[in-house]
C-alpha cells in the first residue's frame, strides 16, 4: 500500500494504529494465560505506549528509509513502530531507577502498580510490588519490540539487514542507562562523562540508530549511512541536552514531570557538570528538595553561565548535524522533513 507525502501528524497516526493493532493481539495472548491477573498489565502498557509521546524515533527511522529511496509501505511503518516499545521499556526502567513519581502527567508505572497492590489489600510491601512489576513490564516491552519488528511484514532478507542495527541499539541504550547510574554512584562531575552518558543513554537510540535502521531497511549505501551517523549522533546529544534543560527549567504542566526532579536525584547531566565547574550546588541530590530549593539551584545554574553554555552547545551540535547532510544523496522530501525534525528535537518545550 502506498501513500502520498506524509506529514508528521499522519505518520504519528499510522504508527499509533500499528501499535494499537499489535497490543490488541498481545492483550489476547495475556488473556489466554490469566485474564484477571494480567488485565492490569495490558492496561498499563497500552496506556503508556498509546497515550502521549512524540513518536520521534519512528519518524527518524521512517524518513531515514524514505531518504534512502524507500517507497512508503505499511510494513515499514509497523517495523519502525517497534522503536516505541524500546522507548517504553527504557522509560519504565528509568522511572524506577530515578524513583520518579510521574511520567507524562500520569503516575509512573511502578507507582501505578504500588497503588494497585494497596487498593487490593494484597500482602507484602506495596512499593516493592510496584518496583518489581515495573521492571517486568519494562522487560516485556523490550521483548514485544522484537516481536513487532518480526511481525511487521518485512521480508526475511530485509529483516536480516535491519536486525544488527536494532540489536546494537538496544544494547547501547541499556549500557547507557547503566553508565548513568554508575556515574551518579561515582560522583563523576566532568562534562566529558556527562556527554558520554547522554550519547549512549539517549542520543544513539533516539536519532542515530533509528536513522540507520531505516537505512538498513531500504538497503542504503555506506555513504548514506555515514551521513546519517554524522547527522544523528550530534543531534541526538542536542536532544538529550534539551531534555536536561527541561528537567530543571521546564513547565511541569507541559512536561508532565515535576520541576527539578533531576536536581533531587543528583543527575550528573551536562548542565549540572557545567555548573559544578564554576560553582557549588549544596542541595544537589537531596530527595526532599522543595520548590524554594529548586529555585535556588536554578539561580546557581544561571549565574554560573552553565545554562548559556548548554544552550550554545545545543546550537553547535544542531549546526554540526545539519552540515552532515550537506551533499548527502537523499530525497528532497526527506531532507525537508529531517530539517524539521531537527528543530522539533532541539527547540521543544516537552
Instruction: Retrieve residue 216's grid coordinates.
Output: 538498513
Question: Nearest 10 degrees: CA dihedral of 226, 232, 238, 241?
Answer: -120
Residue 5 has pLDDT above 60, yes or no: no
CATH match for 8-344 among 3.90.226.10, 2.30.130.60, 2.40.30.10, 1.10.600.10: 1.10.600.10
Q: 213-249: per-residue pLDDT in tens? A: 999 999 999 999 999 999 999 999 999 999 999 999 9
Domain ranges of the chain: 8-344
Residue 85 has pLDDT above 70, yes or no: yes
pLDDT attached to residue 3: 40
Q: 28-57: per-residue pLDDT in tens? A: 999 999 999 999 999 999 999 998 778 999
pLDDT-above-90 percentage for the chain: 87
Distance of CA 33 to the CA centre of its chain: 30
Distances 75 to 14, 63, 208 between C-alpha atoms, Å? 11, 14, 21
Q: 92-140: per-residue pLDDT in tens? A: 999 999 899 999 889 999 999 999 999 999 999 999 999 999 999 999 9
Q: 163-172: per-residue pLDDT in tens? A: 999 999 999 9
- 259: confidence class by pLDDT, cuts 50, 70, 90: confident
Backbone φ and ψ of 215, nearest 5°? -65, -40
Q: Classify residue 137 as exposed, middle or buried by CB count within 10 Å of its CB (0-12, 13-18, 19+).
A: buried
Stronger pLDDT, 158 or 282, i.e. the higher one: 158
Q: 270-311: per-residue pLDDT in tens? A: 999 999 999 999 999 999 999 999 999 999 999 999 999 999
Identify whether the C-beta of residue 241 lies closer than 8 Å to the C-beta of residue 317. Answer: yes
Positive or negative torsion for Cα 74, 78, 84, 86 = negative
Question: Alpha-carbon distance 134 to 259, whole Å?
Answer: 23
Amino acid at each position: 500500500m502506498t501513500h502520498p507525502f506524509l506529514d508528521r501528524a499522519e505518520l504519528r497516526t499510522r504508527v499509533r494504529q500499528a501499535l494499537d493493532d499489535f497490543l490488541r493481539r498481545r492483550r489476547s495472548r495475556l488473556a489466554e494465560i490469566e485474564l484477571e491477573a494480567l488485565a492490569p498489565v495490558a492496561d498499563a502498557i497500552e496506556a503508556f505506549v498509546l497515550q502521549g509521546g512524540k513518536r520521534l524515533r519512528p519518524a527518524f527511522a521512517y524518513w531515514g528509509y524514505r531518504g534512502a529511496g524507500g517507497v512508503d509501505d505499511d510494513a515499514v511503518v509497523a517495523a519502525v513502530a517497534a522503536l516505541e516499545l524500546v522507548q517504553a521499556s527504557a522509560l519504565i526502567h528509568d522511572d524506577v531507577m530515578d524513583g520518579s513519581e510521574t511520567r507524562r502527567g500520569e503516575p509512573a508505572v511502578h507507582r501505578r502498580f504500588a497503588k494497585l497492590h494497596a487498593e487490593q489489600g494484597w500482602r507484602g510491601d506495596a512499593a516493592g510490588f510496584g518496583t518489581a512489576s515495573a521492571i517486568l513490564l519494562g522487560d516485556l516491552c523490550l521483548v514485544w519490540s522484537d516481536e513487532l519488528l518480526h511481525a511487521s511484514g518485512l521480508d526475511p532478507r530485509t529483516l536480516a539487514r535491519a536486525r544488527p542495527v536494532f540489536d546494537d541499539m538496544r544494547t547501547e541504550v541499556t549500557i547507557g542507562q547503566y553508565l548513568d547510574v554508575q556515574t551518579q554512584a561515582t560522583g563523576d562531575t566532568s562534562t566529558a562523562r556527562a556527554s558520554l552518558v547522554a550519547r549512549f543513554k539517549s542520543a544513539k537510540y533516539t536519532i542515530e540508530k533509528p536513522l540507520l535502521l531505516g537505512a538498513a531497511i531500504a538497503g542504503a549505501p555506506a555513504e548514506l549511512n555515514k551521513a546519517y551517523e554524522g547527522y544523528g549522533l550530534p543531534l541526538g546529544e542536542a536532544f538529550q541536552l534539551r531534555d536536561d534543560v527541561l528537567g530543571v527549567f521546564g513547565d511541569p504542566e507541559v512536561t508532565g514531570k515535576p520541576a527539578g526532579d533531576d536536581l533531587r536525584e543528583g543527575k550528573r547531566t551536562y548542565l549540572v557538570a557545567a555548573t559544578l565547574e564554576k560553582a557549588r550546588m549544596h542541595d544537589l541530590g537531596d530527595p526532599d528538595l522543595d520548590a524554594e530549593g529548586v529555585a535556588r539551584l536554578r539561580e546557581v545554574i544561571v549565574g554560573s553561565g552553565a545554562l548559556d553554555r548548554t544552550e550554545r552547545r545545543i546550537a553547535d551540535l544542531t549546526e554540526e548535524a545539519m552540515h552532515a547532510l550537506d551533499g548527502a544523496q537523499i530525497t528532497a522530501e526527506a531532507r525537508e522533513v529531517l530539517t524539521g525534525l531537527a528543530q522539533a528535537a532541539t527547540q521543544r518545550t516537552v
